[in-house]
Amino acid sequence: MFSHLPLYAGDPILSLQQAYLAETRADKVNLGIGAYQDANGAIPTLRSVAAVRPQIAADLGATPYLPIAGSKTYRDAVTELVLGTERYGKVAERAVAIQSLGGSGALKVGCDMLKRHFPDSEVFISAPSWPNHQAIFETAGFKVGSYRYFDAATNGVDFDGMLADLEQMPARSIVILHPACHNPTGADLTRAQWDAVVTVVAERGLLPFLDMAYQGFAEGIDADAYAVHAMVDAGIVLLLSVSFSKTFSLYGERVGALLAVCDDADVARRVLSQMEMSIRANYSSPPTFGGRIVTSVLTDAALRKDWKNEVEEMRSRMLQMRERLHAGMKARVPSLDVDYLLTQRGMFSYTGLNPAQVERLRAEHAIYAVGSGRICVAGLRDENVDRVADAFAQVMDD
Ligand code: PLP
Ligand code: TYF
């Protein structure tokens, strides 16, 4: 019956993670998968999470189904977090949210809703983007194109190219945007550039779908949502997927949200119902535990403050490691231009390493990076950063 099925080749990043786990050299370094590792190389349990988890587990009892859209307290807390308290107050009537299975689940629910009601729209993703953007939207039957984004010559954003491409898009095109900490490049837009994007999106009648998986890892919780805030303030209707996998270190709990800021309360009610329709036909309702953790932290002033401190600690550790790697490589080969390590932000950098160099890093140094040259800077720590700087300088200089 299934003999005609081809083998799914698997996701390159997840396969790389398997290869890393199977690696036997003791000094192996994981710069592959996008997961935050602490100064000891472990995926941390956040203090704020550890503070609430035992009580939630003890109180949980039976777990009846959540509503299709998830917990209302969670949905409200997340909306307030990402919009900011004051803006939330202003748009609460026309903003809706559902609790999703991570950021991926939010993208899928939004995507299915869009496919029903914007069947002829094309979806545009940045070149390059997180590979699952293309996979999710193509699986739903969308045509997925791209807009210019990364400029290998400057290791920054080709903003003129991006804007020119946005200006060519037909009205109602769906544009996937990364508000901060672009995956995979780490190259972000400035505020002035976001303002220009807002103008084009409004003028051309585009539908922005912002995907925020790293809020707080570039500059801070509030600052990293600038693109979202600027669009909402400009009256633009948008979709926003949120992931707490990284910022709460709750990868396996699958916690996220899909938000829509709509024209008015009546439209918002219908949009929410359409999200619910997508959920019902996919997985019926979300899981309980992870959402409870995030709700408990966000709705307690002291815990919320401590969580923000923890996000800041993760952010500053990654920044320090960027500086250490940069300094280490410059010390070894002064002619190398690696300033991009300092200008790119968040968890990832696009190093310009080619597939052969990435393979040399693995084979000769037990350093695992993605074939595209993407590194996860959270895999660096005091004990390995000098060795990584050596190895990078060596393969880049040869
Ligand atoms: N969107 C982007 C840009 C990501 O980088 C990721 C995770 O790597 C996600 C969405 C999905 O995150 P989650 O694990 O919460 O599904
Ligand atoms: O490293 C990355 O870019 C991601 C990581 O369910 C990831 O692809 C892994 C598993 C998952 C979602 C994201």
Ligand 1, residue 130: give the atom nearest the CA: 3
Q: Tell whether the model's pLDDT for residue 128 goes beyond 80.
A: yes
Residues 61 and 37 in one domain: no
* pLDDT on residue 333: 92
pLDDT in tens, 43-94: 999 999 999 999 999 988 888 999 999 999 999 999 999 999 999 999 999 9
Share of the chain above pLDDT 70, in %: 100
Domain assignment present for residue 343? The answer is: yes
**DSSP β-bridge partners for residue 176:** 209
Domain assignment present for residue 3? The answer is: no
CA–CA gap between residue 80 and residue 85 (Å, rounded) = 5
* pLDDT on residue 397: 82
* pLDDT on residue 10: 87
Residues 243 and 186 in one domain: yes
Q: Tell whether the model's pLDDT for residue 301 goes beyond 80.
A: yes
Strand ranges (DSSP E) for the chain?
Answer: 29-30, 95-100, 123-127, 144-148, 150-151, 156-157, 174-177, 207-212, 238-243, 256-261, 348-350, 367-368, 374-376
Give the DSSP H/E element, type plus range, for residue 244. none
Tokens of 56: 């939630």
Check 130, 158, 165, 188 and give the catalytic one. Answer: 130
Residues 96 and 126 in one domain: yes
Domain assignment present for residue 4? The answer is: no
* pLDDT on residue 61: 85
Lowest mean pLDDT among 186-195, 297-306, 329-338, 355-364: 329-338
Select from 287, 302, 317 the last residue of a domain. 302
Number of domains in the chain: 2
* HSE-CB of 161 using CA atoms within 13 angstroms: 12
- Amino acid in the structure at residue 41: G
Mean pLDDT over 231-245 rounds to 98
How many A from CA of 397 to the centre of ligand 1?
A: 33
pLDDT in tens, 266-290: 999 999 999 999 999 999 999 999 9
Domain assignment present for residue 199? The answer is: yes
Domain assignment present for residue 5? The answer is: no
* pLDDT on residue 379: 97
Select from 276, 302, 328 the last residue of a domain. 302
- Amino acid in the structure at residue 210: L
pLDDT in tens, 154-213: 999 999 999 999 999 999 999 999 999 999 999 999 999 999 999 999 999 999 999 999
Which among 183, 250, 251 is the best mutation to test ligand 1's pocket, defined by most ligand atoms within 8 Å of the CB? 183
Residues 197 and 336 in one domain: no
Q: Calculate the average pLDDT of the chain.
A: 97
130 part of the active site: yes
Residues 143 and 33 in one domain: no
Select from 270, 302, 334 the last residue of a domain. 302
Residues 163 and 82 in one domain: yes
CATH code for position 35: 3.90.1150.10
How many A from CA of 363 to the centre of ligand 1?
A: 28
246 part of the active site: yes
Ligand 1, residue 104: give the atom nearest the CA: 16
* pLDDT on residue 271: 98
CA–CA gap between residue 213 and residue 202 (Å, rounded) = 24
- Ligand nearest the Cα of residue 107 is 1
Residues 240 and 165 in one domain: yes
Domain assignment present for residue 159? The answer is: yes
Q: Which structural domain range is residue 346 located in?
A: 12-45+309-397
The structure's pTM equals: 0.96
Residues 86 and 33 in one domain: no
Domain assignment present for residue 361? The answer is: yes
Sequence-ordered list of residues with C-beta below 8 angstroms from that of 190, at least 6 positions apart, any chain: none
How many A from CA of 34 to the centre of ligand 2?
A: 6
Domain assignment present for residue 1? The answer is: no
- Angle of helix 301-332 relative to helix 47-60, nearest 10 degrees, comes to 140
Residues 33 and 66 in one domain: no
CATH code for position 161: 3.40.640.10
The per-residue DSSP string of 36-104 comes to ---TTSSPPPPHHHHHHHHHHHHHH-S-PPPPTT--HHHHHHHHHHHH-HHHHHHHGGGEEEEEESHHH
Yes or no: say if 157 and 151 are a contact pair by the CB < 8 Å rule: yes
Residues 141 and 225 in one domain: yes
Residues 35 and 167 in one domain: no
- Ligand nearest the Cα of residue 131 is 2
Q: Tell whether the model's pLDDT for residue 341 goes beyond 80.
A: yes
Residues 29 and 55 in one domain: no
